[in-house]
A and B are shown apart, each in its own frame.
Chain A
């Protein structure tokens, strides 16, 4: 399917390997393949969800795109240019267009700065405030945008609840008028009744400003709710990407099936058939050969242990990386 709009973000073959050093000479004895060849696109104004269990590489992917960590391999095209080699002023300019919201609203706000300082810092760095009055006005506008009051400006992070802190984090990200926000588990630390407030706020802001989100979370229900498309990751690789509706209605990868069937549904009358997975996620230092999932896969055959399945796109842009399911797409 041809997309008439060029993607805002286009990630190809992204890899991040961490060296493990050992012995008295601290030689590289092994590598952790945290992200092992990830490719996807995000269109302007779109939300792509990335879901997977701990250690699957979803957060590393988000941080590599932001250049908060340096990718080992691969290209990241943002607004048509490769950003993997940007330095200095160009990198700073990029960061104006791309922002990130973190999981822990307690650790990601500077406790010694007032809210005005936290939100205003980005405006100052990027030279977006004409003078002190303009800065204050912009901070007030941002606070109102995220549902906080102007008088909150003089307070400090510890005076706020978890949900309010996450709103401050969102206001800080919005301050520089980005086009893409990487949301790394933005609601996982929040209470259930507060999660809905933040999800709704993110949706409202997206509509208002045409923002694109890379929404990273382990909670499949949240990801499905907010995303247009969802990518499922397992041990550093994307195993399936589809529209949120398609992924639930017609999951193709056996891991996606198992993941979906393991999500508890808040309805005691819902009929479930559970695909039980044996064992734990294998160690990413020595991931299984071939398809990383074959050691836990209920339908694996001999080929799966040898050959890495490619991520092949079929009808409705539904892509899957599974030898046994490639003929079904």
Chain B
């Protein structure tokens, strides 16, 4: 089998705080193949964003630290890389799009300058060539009249248009992997549909892989090939998207899928939503054994005894539950 593009093995990203060590990512293994979209889904505190930021070493150390594990990018471990080497990977091989397009763009530079920053940093590019490249990228992400917009500043763009600029920035060096961290969460639903369509289109055009971080199961179902569900710092289930929605094996995944109202199934009269009891866990006060055990309707004494490993429960389907 072909080597995965990105192979995360046993990653632990911990944060030292006054209250104790927050194990935000606590032994995550994930891989992404060439040209594949992997959705990483979870609620706040699940560790999905920290996992994504760990890949590009965007974690502030301290308070954060890479406590264990490897991040193999095309076979090469990124964890020990110094700032200069990781810069090269960030600019040319892995692109990233963040949730908040306003705070991730620099307000005092034109979008044209920001789009081509990565290009100019690594090759000598004439002003004209850089400008042309920026216009080309803006056209690619379907911003109207790119020749005029290239000299505009971020505040002159709407939220959806800013996210298009972010995508243009991330794609200018034609990366092999795009990490998209909640790219549509701050956007209205019709704009969300436009941006997700654009990402799918860009993926086909460049043949890149996408790691899509989201909390929305609907976005997962419509955009991913494979899904990893995270809870309290670990992956609790991983499967193909069709398999995951048809046969969720972990009680947390089952609860998540059943607790969301669906626009296409308004039943006669009212149906009650299934609810997961309790609150999203505090990472400093996790229950012993399985991290989900204190909210799980199936939990037994065995669940508190030891932490269940992520194991194969069906072909290409892993779950971390002793009853899965």
Q: Is the CB of B262 within 8 A of A192?
A: no
**Other-chain contact of B189, A53, A163, A195, A270 (Cβ < 8 Å):** A53
**Other-chain contact of B280, A193, A222, A261, A281 (Cβ < 8 Å):** A193
Residues of A within 8 Å of B161, CB to CB, are 280
Does chain A have a CB within 8 A of B260? yes
**Other-chain contact of B262, A161, A193, A218, A221 (Cβ < 8 Å):** A221
**Tally of B interface residues using CB under 8 Å:** 48
Q: How far is the CA of A197 from the CA of B295 in the complex (A)?
A: 13
Q: Is the CB of B221 within 8 A of A196?
A: no
**Given A196-B260, A267-B245, A280-B161: A54 and B266 interface contact (C-beta under 8 Å):** no
Q: Mark A183-200, 1 if CB is under 8 A from B, else 0.
A: 000000001111111011
Closest to B216 in A: A264
Q: How far is the CA of A220 from the CA of B216 in the complex (A)?
A: 13
Q: Is the CB of B245 within 8 A of A244?
A: no
Q: Is the CB of B266 within 8 A of A224?
A: yes
In whole Å, how far is B194's beta carbon from the nearest beta carbon of chain A? 7
In whole Å, how far is B31's beta carbon from the nearest beta carbon of chain A? 21
Q: How far is the CA of A244 from the CA of B268 in the complex (A)?
A: 10
In whole Å, how far is B156's beta carbon from the nearest beta carbon of chain A? 13
Does chain A have a CB within 8 A of B217? yes
Residues of A within 8 Å of B196, CB to CB, are 264
Residues of B within 8 Å of A225, CB to CB, are 261, 266, 271, 273
Q: A224, A267, A268, A272 — which one has the most chain B CB atoms within 10 A of its CB?
A: A268
In whole Å, how far is A46's beta carbon from the nearest beta carbon of chain B? 13
Does chain A have a CB within 8 A of B60? no
Does chain B have a CB within 8 A of A266? yes
Q: In the complex, which residues 186-228 of chain A have their Cβ closer than 8 Å to any Cβ of chain B? A: 191-197, 199-200, 203, 218-222, 224-226
In whole Å, how far is B254's beta carbon from the nearest beta carbon of chain A? 11
Residues of B within 8 Å of A164, CB to CB, are 279
Residues of B within 8 Å of A173, CB to CB, are none
**Tally of A interface residues using CB under 8 Å:** 46
**Other-chain contact of B259, A196, A245, A268 (Cβ < 8 Å):** A196
Q: Is the CB of B260 within 8 A of A269?
A: no
**Other-chain contact of A193, B188, B194, B255, B270 (Cβ < 8 Å):** B255
Interface SS of chain A: helix
Q: Is the CB of B261 within 8 A of A222?
A: yes
Q: How far is the CA of A245 from the CA of B271 in the complex (A)?
A: 13
Residues of A within 8 Å of B316, CB to CB, are none
Q: Is the CB of A260 within 8 A of B263?
A: yes
Does chain B have a CB within 8 A of A276? yes
Closest to B282 in A: A161
Q: How far is the CA of A195 from the CA of B279 in the complex (A)?
A: 11
Does chain B have a CB within 8 A of A303? no
Q: Is the CB of B189 within 8 A of A203?
A: no
Q: B218, B245, B246, B295 — which one has the most chain A CB atoms within 10 A of its CB?
A: B218
Residues of B within 8 Å of A199, CB to CB, are 261, 273
Residues of A within 8 Å of B189, CB to CB, are 53, 218-220, 259, 262-263
Does chain B have a CB within 8 A of A277? yes
Q: How far is the CA of A222 from the CA of B280 in the complex (A)?
A: 20
Q: How far is the CA of A261 from the CA of B276 in the complex (A)?
A: 28
**Given A245-B266, A276-B194: A221 and B260 interface contact (C-beta under 8 Å):** yes
Residues of B bordering A, CB below 8 Å: 43-44, 158, 160-161, 188-194, 196-197, 215-222, 241-242, 245-246, 255-257, 259-264, 266, 268, 270-277, 279-280, 295
Residues of A bordering B, CB below 8 Å: 53-54, 161, 163-164, 191-197, 199-200, 203, 218-222, 224-226, 244-245, 248-249, 258-270, 272, 274, 276-277, 280-281
A sample of 4 more A-B contacts (CB under 8 A), given A264-B219, A267-B221, A269-B246, is: A203-B272, A220-B263, A268-B242, A280-B191
